Structure 1
Amino acid sequence: MNPSKRSPWSLSLVLLAVASLATGCAASRREAYIQDKAAQHTYRKPIAEVWPQVRMLLKEKELPVREAQGGYEISTDWHMVGAPSTLGTNYVRYLVRGKQPTPAMCMVEIFKQNRTESGPGPVDATTGQRRELGTDTTNMVRDMEMEWELLQRVDPDAAKALRDEAEKTIK
């Protein structure tokens, strides 16, 4: 099409697409900012007040928990994520640690570990049997999404202030 014969609508559509893309990118950056800040959050409450909310969050996610006696540490058993597949079955487990730098303040760290058990592999031409592809386990990483979820539950005012800060900071 000749540039002089372009419809004003085509320019509008291009501008709308660019604006939508920029908005989507900003929203992703805001979510990353929020999750990063949530991972660094110090609750202005004793760990004994926060810990029941940690237990409830894990229970609502139907994660089987094992709690360490005398401390603030919970680990979950491996929990299947999604349906089993011949391509591989995914599992996840969590480790949650509560820290109390002062009697009136605490921090909660939530770590996540993924595991994929691969399905049966190709048939070995020499033996005629299927080879197992094995298991792939990732290292534990902070689950900042779950930490953000916990912050919203335990301290909604701080969560709202953090969201407002992200809105102002990242445009």
Structure 2
Amino acid sequence: MILITGGARSGKSRLAEQLANQKAAAYGGNVLYIATSLATDDEMLRRIEQHKLTRPAHWRTHEGYRQTGNEIRQQSGFFPVIVLECITTMLTNLIFDWAGDSDPDQLDYSALERWLEPQMDDLLKSCAESKSEIIIVTNELGCGIVPEYPLARHFLDIAGRVNQKLAQQADEVHLVVSGIDVKIKG
């Protein structure tokens, strides 16, 4: 498993696509791209469309953020390379699924994390067992200020713990800063 992390607009996606192309060419196969974003407004729709334009047309795309471990399990072996982009977007969507219309100040964040943990563990297990090369993109959120609002602070904590688990299991970890890839593990 390869983990690519960095700040927003740092070049993570470009690196993931480059590595996926290289690996797919070496293995002689195609790429499955698991896209976890939702088009919740016009701006996000434009971002998703822009991302689609940067990927090769022959890549297969699966749009979804739920049960990504199952998707990896089902597609392992059919695709020599699977790209999952992005963990922090996936977590955001899962958190909003769990919270619904609840007041963020009234949420039981311990219960939320207990609900998320088996899903993240299943994702990690599916990556470890996969016959495919897995490339995962995630945002590094720990370099900024501590957010003012409880939901943002808890999201930062949850994403940080998930990223640590991913990095621990990954064979390679890349940090992308201003478009520059710095390999920090592997």
Give the TM-score of the pair, scaled to structure 2. Answer: 0.25
- The structure number with the bigger radius of gyration is 1
Give the TM-score of the pair, scaled to structure 1. Answer: 0.26
Structure with the larger helix share? 2
